[in-house]
Structure 1
Amino acid sequence: MNQEQWSTVDDYLDRQLAPHDDALDHALRASAQAGLPDIAVAANQGKFLQLLARLAGARRILEIGTLGGYSTIWLARALLPGGRLTTLEAEPAHAEIARDNLDRAGLTEVVDVRVGRALDVLPALRDEQRDAGAAPFDFAFIDADKVNNPHYVRWALELGRPGTVIVVDNVVRGGAVADSDSDDPSVRGTREMLDLLRTEPRLDATAIQTVGTKGYDGLAVALVVTP
């Protein structure tokens, strides 16, 4: 198969099982008009994340990497009643677009958009759990800079609980992840993260290759199995 065929299949699957709506379509249009990079998850991937979060019974969701809020909308719609999603975005301009998209989707009350480098913001979430009694996260979606993927997984583990699901996007890197000699920082960060998933005794994980409108890539899914 080639990219055209992958995209055709994705379009068909989206129509069948992940239909768009006004809020999702607007989020994509607004992001494109603002010049944000075209790196949001595909519609069927968004639906997949939503189903995983629902299967996890998520009341608290952590997202690292908001962009324009497209995946945020999918995930926020999976929350159980009374639930809340916290999403971290390093770029203030991106965060503002995401807030507008979330407001249009009617999700402002259940989504907390925090601006700043994730590694600077995550300690505050830990403090909220320790000092304010905030509940652990039931689900985490990591889709930010790949160099720091190992750190993000460690933070998701610290902020989660047994039963928490952690999903990491873009782990195949167009096939480059298999190259142990790669000097690409994103590949090296991803490989280090996969090593962590393999060796961390509190996690049970796997990774799969994917193809579709976003090309050839993949994702990792981990379950926190022990405290």
Structure 2
Amino acid sequence: MPPPGNCSPSSATRSGPRRGSALSKFTALTDELHDYIVENGAREDAVLAQVREETAALGEISVMQIAPDQGALMTLLTRILGPKRAIEVGTFTGYSAICIARGLPTGGRLIACELDPERAQTAAENFALASVADRIDLRVGPASETLAELTAAKGPESSEPFDLAFIDADKTGYDGYYESCLELLRPGGLIILDNVLQDGRVLDAAGNESAEAIARLNAKVRVDDRVGIAMIGVADGLTLAVKR
């Protein structure tokens, strides 16, 4: 996701009647307003703050980490859903996995997929720091391979299906991750797709491989009758898709 407050021109305030819709109001998310949201609506503790600050020190790559307000939402959604089994595609340094793990019920487990061994090691250290390592099964390697293994193991005598999936990895792989996670989920299970706005580039995605991939997936999910959906303007955009 882009850094907090990184608003493109397309995210400017819009109010009043919109094309083909009822009255709607959109509030521009300035840096100051985002800070207000985090201060008043995200209970980021010292551990998560440390993970965020240490990740920020990595430089440009740190934009892949979710922001505190998104983390708070994900913990809350996890608690509401009460998943026994969850999967994360793209763990990075572990902030989002910690947020999910903290929302799991007793006995709940998260499979966290991370391609980069160095990032996976950092994530493992952060899981221990947050006292959630016992709830997380960290898989290092291509997520597509892990998902294929889980799908192959699926059957009437296999373990229970998944209840929750969070996808936040390479954007060109999103469609495949979406299909695999949808197959693994139980009816009523939730997929969370991150970065579905691509900092506004989905409005003019031509020439940007990641934005083009997300724009295609957004169009696909919009008419996918296998799920009920809502796209929300948190951070760089999230799509919540509930399997029918």
Q: Same fold (TM over 0.5)?
A: yes
* Contact 1:89/1:113, CA 8 A, preserved across alignment: yes
Does the C-alpha gap of structure 1 residues 53 and 179 become closer, same or farther in structure 2, counting only changes over 3 Å? same
Aligned-residue identity in percent:
34
Cα distance in 2, alignment partners of residues 210 and 18 from structure 1: 13
Following superposition, the deviation at residue 33 of structure 1 comes to 4.3
Tell me by how many angstroms 1:80 deviates. Answer: 0.8
DSSP 3-state at the match of 1:129: coil
Q: Is the 8 A contact 1:31 1:97 kept in 2?
A: no
1:174 counterpart SS class: helix
Corresponding residue number in structure 1 for 2:153 = 128
Task: Tell me the equivalent position of 2:116.
Answer: 91
Which aligned pairs between 1:72-91 and structure 2 lie closer than 5 A?
72-91=97-116
- 2:6 and 2:141 map into 1 onto residues whose CA distance is 35
* Deviations 1:59-89, CA, capped at 9 Å, x for gaps: 2111111000001111100101100001101
User: What is the alpha-carbon distance in structure 2 between the residues aligned to residue 91 and residue 39 of structure 1?
Assistant: 13
Q: TM-score, normalised by structure 2?
A: 0.82
Does the alignment pair 1:108 with 2:127?
no
Residue type at the aligned position of 1:149: Y
Larger Rg: 2
Residues of 1 paired with 2:139 and 2:6: CA distance?
35
Residues 26, 101 of structure 1: 8 Å contact kept: no
- Give TM-score scaled by structure 1 length: 0.88
1:166 alignment partner, one of 171, 188, 191: 191
Distance 2:118 2:58 in 1: 9
CA RMSD of aligned residues (A): 2.0
> Following TM superposition, by how much is the alpha carbon of 1:34 offset from its aligned partner in structure 2, in angstroms?
5.1
Return the letter of the residue paired with 2:39.
Answer: R
For 1:10, what is the secondary structure of its paired residue?
A: helix
Number of aligned residue pairs: 218
Cα 1:33–1:172 change in 2 (3 A) is closer
In structure 1, the residue matched to 2:39 is 15
* Separation in structure 2 between the aligned mates of residue 3 and residue 193 of structure 1, nearest angstrom: 23
Aligned to 1:57: 82
Secondary structure at the residue paired with 1:96? helix
Secondary structure at 2:202 match in 1: helix
For the 8 Å contact 1:207–1:219, the answer to whether it is kept is: yes
Q: In the TM superposition, what is the alpha-carbon distance from 1:17 to its structure 2 partner? A: 2.4
Off by >4 Å, runs of 4+ in structure 1: 2-5, 33-36
Measured after TM superposition, the shift of residue 3 of structure 1 is: 5.3
Paired amino acid for 1:29: E
| One-letter identity of the residue aligned with 2:85 | R
Q: CA deviation at 1:97?
A: 0.2
Structure 1 unaligned spans of 5+? 212-216
- Return the letter of the residue paired with 1:169: D
CA drift of 1:131 comes to 8.2
Q: Please give the secondary structure, in 2, of the residue aligned with 1:161.
A: strand
CA distance in 1, matches of 2:39, 2:204: 36
Deviation larger for 12-21 or 68-77 = 12-21
